[in-house]
Structure 1
Amino acid sequence: MNHFIQRVVDVQYGVQTLQTCIIADKHTHVIMPAASAFLFSMTKDKGARINSVKSYAATLVSFLNTLAQDPEIGGYGYGSVTDKQMRAYLELVLIVHKEVTLNTVEQNITRLNQFYEYCWKAGLIEDRPEFSYQLSDQKMREMKIKGGIKKSLDPFNLSEQYIPYSEFNELLAYKPRVGDYENARDDIVLKLGYFVGMRAAEVVSEDNFTLPRINAAISEADKKGDKGYLLFVIGKGSNGGKPRQVYIPQLLRQQIVRFMHGARKKTPGNLLICKSDGTQLHERHASDTFSDAVKCLIKAGGEFSKSWKANKARCYHSLRHCYATNFAQYLKENNLPRLLLSERMGHADEETTLIYIHFNAVLHGDIETQNKILPLVHKKHLLES
C-alpha cells in the first residue's frame, strides 16, 4: 500500500501563483517537507514546467514509499539511507521488481542525487551523502545485454507505442475539450500526428499551419488534380529548425477546409491551430490533449481501455511513430522507395527509417522483409556503439 502520494498545488509566491507539486502522507495528508521544498525549488528557482516537476515527484514518491514499506531496503528516514540500501533500491526495486531500463535507473540516480544535494545545502540533513550509486558488475552486464537486444530490434519501443487505427479512432471520441471550436480543432490536432507524422510542437508552431500557406498548397494541389496536398513545415533542429515536406491526405484536407470555413471562421489571425482568440497555443497542447483523452477513455471504460492501460508508453509522439509504421506498409504495397519515408519524417540519418520498415514487417508477419532489414539494423547499431 502506498504511504506517500504526490499532488499538484498552486502556491502564492509574492505576486505570482506558481503551480508545483507536494508530497504528502496518503492518509494523514501531512506534507513531507524536504521533498516538497525540493520540488518547489525546481519550480521557483529553475523554472521547471509542471510536467517535469510531476515526473521528479513520481521518482521521489517511489523512493520514499520503498523506504517506508520494503523490508529488503529497511528504514523510514531518507536522511539515514546507507550506500548499501541505495544500491538495493536501484537493483531490487527498480530493476528486479519494476523491470525498468538502464536509462531509467540512471535518471533515478540523477534525480535522487539532486534531491540529496538540495537537502544538504538547505540544512535538512547534517552530513553530505556519499552514495556511490553503483550497480553490481553482474547487474550492469544484465542490463546492457537486455538494453542492447532491445535497442537493436526496437529502439523506439514501437511494440508498446504503436496504436492500431481502431484504437486511435476510439480515442478521438474522448477528446477532453467539449466546445464546438475546441473539439473540431483538437480532432485535427490528433489526426495531424497519426496521419501526417507531426510532432507536438510542430502542430502549434507559427511557422507551419497558417491559413495563407494552407490555401496556397490546396490551390497548387488542385492544379495537379491531387486530392490531398503537400505542405512544407519546419521541424526540430538547429539554425531555426529543419524543413521537410509532409502530405495532408484527402479526408484530413476536407476536414481542415470545413474547420476553416466553419468552427474557425470567426477566429482572428492566420493560425489554423490556435486558441479561440487567435493566439498561439502552448507547445505542449497536443501532448496534453492526447494524455487527457487517454485518461477520459480509461475512466469511461472504453472498448480498448485495457490496451490503453497496458501500453503506458503511448504519448502524442507515438502518433508520429504510427504514421511512419503505416507509411512503411504503404510504400511496400505500392513498391515505392523507403527514401520517401525518410523525407516525410525528416530523418537526419536515412538509416533510422530501417527501424520502421523492420517493425512494420514484424507487425504484418513479413518474414522476408525482416530477414532483409534486420542485418542492416544490427549493423547500424554496431557501428554506433
Structure 2
Amino acid sequence: MILIESFIKYLEFEKRSSEHTIASYSCDLEQFILFAKQKDVTHVSDVNRKLVRSWVVYLVGEGMAPKSVGRKITSLKSYFNYLMREGFVEINPAKDISTPKIPKKIPIFVRESEMDLLLDEFPFTSDYEGVRDRLILELLYGVGLRRSELVGLRDNDFDFSLKEIKVTGKYKKQRYIPLNANLLLLIKKYLVVRNREFEIGDNGFFFLTKKGDAVYAKLIYRVVNKYLSSVTTLQKKSPHVLRHSFATSLLNAGADLNAIKELLGHSNLTATEVYTHSSFEKITDIYKQAHPRS
C-alpha cells in the first residue's frame, strides 16, 4: 500500500493540513497497513468492510479510547476517499463504519457550601489584588463566564443603569446577563480601588495585573486554583469548574434548562444537558441518604 505517500502529499500541499494532522494520519494508516498485512491483505483494492471492522474490533479490544478509535476511522475514511478520487478503488470500505460512542464527561463542580465558605468567610486582603481576585471568583461563579470572556471584559461592558453585563463569547457572539445587587457593589468597589491604583489607558480592559496591564489566561487560572485549594479537595480547580458550578447550582435550584443555555452562551441545548447528569447524581445521593426504603 505504497499510495499512502501520495495521500500525505495531498494533505500537505492541497489540503494544507497541519503538521499534527499529517503526523496523526500517517501513524493511523501505518497501523492499519500493519494489521492488514497480518491478514494477508497487501493491496488497497483488496481492503473490504469486513477487514476495517475487524481492525476496529481489535483496537477496542486492546483498550483504546473511543475518541482515538474514532480518529483512526476518520483517517481511514479520508484515505479511501482520496483513493476513490484518484481512481485506485471504486468504493470506500470505511464509509459506513460507525464511530464508537464517546462517553459524556460529567462536569466537575464545587459544592455550594464550599463556595459560600470561600466567598463569605475567606479573609481577602483589602489591597488591589485582594479586591480583584474576589471579584474574579464572584464573576466566574456568579455569572458563569468562560475564562476567555473574563479576560476580554472591558469597562464599557458593564451597564449599571440596566444592571447587566455584556459578554462576548465564542465566534464574537454577544449575550447580556443580569447582575445582582451584591455583584454590582463588588464591581463598583473594585473600580474605585483600581482607578485609585492605576491610570486607565485607552484600551479599557476591566481586569488588570498588579503592574496595570491587561490580565491573561494563566493569571486567571492561578487565581482560581489558589483560592479553590483553600476550600475543596477537587483535583481540578480551574475557571471552567466555576462555570460548571454556576450551571449546576442554577439547575439544582430549579432553573429552566433553556434559560441556563442562554446564560452560558451555548449554541444548542445538547451542550447544556450535560449538567442534568450531575444534578441527577445529587438527587440520587439525597434519596439514598434520606429515604427509609432506599
Instruction: Say yes or no: TM over 0.5.
Output: yes
Q: Name the SS for the 1:261 alignment partner.
A: helix
- 1:284 paired with 2:214, answer no
Task: Give the letter for the 1:255 counterpart.
Answer: L
Q: Distance in 1 between matches of 2:129 and 2:245?
A: 24
Task: Give the letter for the 2:220 counterpart.
Answer: A
Quick one: structure 1 residues 294 and 244, their matched pair in 2 at CA, closer, same or farther if it must change by over 3 Å? same
Deviation for aligned residue 1:157: 3.1
Task: Give the letter for the 1:282 counterpart.
Answer: Y
Deviation for aligned residue 1:200: 1.4
Deviation for aligned residue 1:182: 0.4
Q: Name the SS for the 2:145 alignment partner.
A: coil
Q: Name the SS for the 2:170 alignment partner.
A: coil
Is the 2:128–2:197 contact (alpha carbons within 8 Å) kept by the matching residues of 1?
no
- Structure 2 match to 1:344: 263
| 1:173-214 CA-partner distances (Å, limit 9, x unpaired) | 779x96710010011111111111011121121xx341x442
Task: Give the letter for the 1:247 counterpart.
Answer: P
Q: Which runs of 5+ in 2 are unaligned?
A: 1-23, 28-57, 70-99, 287-294
Q: Distance in 2 between matches of 1:294 and 1:164?
A: 11
Q: How does 1:189-200 map to 2 (within 5 A)?
A: 189-200=136-147
Q: Distance in 2 between matches of 1:362 and 1:254?
A: 35
Q: Name the SS for the 1:219 alignment partner.
A: coil
Q: Name the SS for the 2:176 alignment partner.
A: strand
- Structure 2 match to 1:243: 174
Instruction: Tell which has more relative contact order, 1 or 2 (C-alpha 8 A, sep 6+).
Output: 2
Is the 2:157–2:167 contact (alpha carbons within 8 Å) kept by the matching residues of 1?
no
Q: Distance in 2 between matches of 1:353 and 1:278?
A: 36
Quick one: structure 1 residues 348 and 203, their matched pair in 2 at CA, closer, same or farther if it must change by over 3 Å? same
Q: How does 1:1-385 map to 2 (within 5 A)?
A: 137-140=60-63, 144=66, 151=103, 155-158=104-107, 161-171=108-118, 180-205=127-152, 208-210=153-155, 212-214=156-158, 217-220=159-162, 229-237=163-171, 241-262=172-193, 264-269=195-200, 270-295=204-229, 297=230, 304=231, 307-308=232-233, 311-330=234-253, 332=254, 337-365=256-284
| 1:209-266 CA-partner distances (Å, limit 9, x unpaired) | 41x442xx1112xxxxxxxx222211123xxx22122232221111111222245434
Q: Name the SS for the 2:266 alignment partner.
A: coil
Deviation for aligned residue 1:290: 1.4
Q: Distance in 2 between matches of 1:359 and 1:345?
A: 17
Q: Name the SS for the 1:140 alignment partner.
A: coil
Identity of aligned residues (%): 20
Quick one: structure 1 residues 357 and 265, their matched pair in 2 at CA, closer, same or farther if it must change by over 3 Å? farther
TM normalised by structure 2 equals 0.57
Is the 2:224–2:237 contact (alpha carbons within 8 Å) kept by the matching residues of 1?
no
Quick one: structure 1 residues 364 and 149, their matched pair in 2 at CA, closer, same or farther if it must change by over 3 Å? farther
Q: Which runs of 5+ in 1 are unaligned?
A: 1-109, 114-134, 221-228, 298-303, 368-385
TM normalised by structure 1 equals 0.44
Q: Distance in 2 between matches of 1:287 and 1:348?
A: 25
- Structure 2 match to 1:124: none
Q: Distance in 2 between matches of 1:327 and 1:261?
A: 31
